[in-house]
Amino acid sequence: MWRHGTRTMAVILRELAFLKFLRARGIPVSINIPLTSGEDHFVLGAPEGDRPAVLYTWAPGRKYADIPTVEMGEKLGAKFAEMHLIAREFPTADAPDQT
């Protein structure tokens, strides 16, 4: 759930598209769970204004702080490098939507 006014809906939807893009290319990230209506998000009314909300899939694993070994650090670094290389393929914000 985002605070009211911190991000536009367009930015939130782009972030969700980016996570789906990464997941489709084998990066183990959590992605949103669509609502029964098919929407990617819902909005809750709050005293300060509407707050967008999203339900995500479970992210199995453990925090790096729980297992700070050199081997785990190398694995984590390799996965981040892979993610950054794959992210280059994600369409820029000014390109037509290709996701």
Mean pLDDT, 10 residues at a time, the chain of 99 residues: 89 94 93 93 92 90 84 91 94 59
DSSP 8-state code for residue 56: B
Tell me the CA distances in angstroms from 83 to 27, 77, 96, one per residue in order.
Answer: 7, 10, 22
pLDDT given at position 65: 84
Residues 32, 1: contact at Cβ < 8 Å? no
SS3 85: helix
Residues 21, 90: contact at Cβ < 8 Å? yes
pLDDT given at position 31: 95
pLDDT given at position 94: 60
**At CB < 8 A and 24+ separation, what contacts does 79-86 make?**
79/27, 79/28, 82/27, 83/22, 83/27, 86/21, 86/22, 86/25, 86/27
